Amino acid sequence: MSARSKARKRAVDILYGADLRELPIWQLLGEEATRALDEPDRRASWEYARQIVEGVADNQAAIDRLIGENAQGWTLERMPVLDRAIARVGVWEILYNAEVPDAVAISEAVESATVHSTDDSAGFLNGLLAAIARLPKPEAAPHIELPVGDDQA
């Protein structure tokens, strides 16, 4: 698994935990930062995971609005908590990280849902994220510089 894939999983774990436990994202982000410092094998994926979680937290209202507007037949509140976390990561990558192609963001989200969520989640997230990817990108989206390496997927 590439460092970015691990980072996405960590970001989903943080967002999922915050949502499920009804805690501020920033609190869980701080706890994970402490773990990353104490466990050297977690450092490789930490920086991108942090960027994702901070990006979702900073843009959560806009991200959630887009999810709600494009989730056919579902409200944000009715979605499984895990699917909501995966969707938030996917939307952030599509809209706010020009370094990740939309197809990669969608594929990673679908793979995560296939492995970790319900039977219907992968198809649902594929359709949702594909619809959002077709929308115009926000002009003010920050450009994130990431190190170039073999594990950019």
The CATH number linked to 61 is: 1.10.940.10
DSSP 3-state assignment of 148? coil
Rg over alpha carbons for the chain, rounded to the nearest Å, is 14
User: Which ranges constitute the DSSP H helices of 39-120?
Assistant: 43-58, 60-70, 81-96, 102-116
Phi/psi for 90 (5° steps) reads: -60, -45
Q: Does residue 37 sit within a domain?
A: yes
Q: Does residue 148 sit within a domain?
A: no
Q: What is the pLDDT of residues 124-141, one digit of tens each?
A: 999 999 999 999 887 644
**What is the pTM assigned to this prediction?**
0.86
| C-alpha to C-alpha distance for 100 and 14, rounded to whole angstroms | 20
Domain containing residue 12: 3-133
Model pLDDT, residue 2: 84
| C-alpha to C-alpha distance for 39 and 131, rounded to whole angstroms | 38
Q: Does residue 149 sit within a domain?
A: no
Mean pLDDT of 17-43: 87
Q: Which residue's entry shows tokens 């990108």?
A: 137
- Count of structural domains, the chain: 1
**Is the Cβ–Cβ distance between 140 and 83 less than 8 Å?**
no
Q: Does residue 145 sit within a domain?
A: no
Cα distances (angstroms) measured from residue 9 to each of 3, 13, 90, 138: 10, 6, 11, 25
Q: How many CA atoms lie within 13 A of 57 on its CB side?
A: 21
Closest CA relative to residue 128, chosen from 61, 59, 79, 56? 79
Q: What is the pLDDT of residues 51-79, one digit of tens each?
A: 999 999 999 999 999 999 999 888 899 99
In single-letter form, the type of residue at position 52 comes to I
CB atoms within 10 A of CB 9: 19
Model pLDDT, residue 139: 65
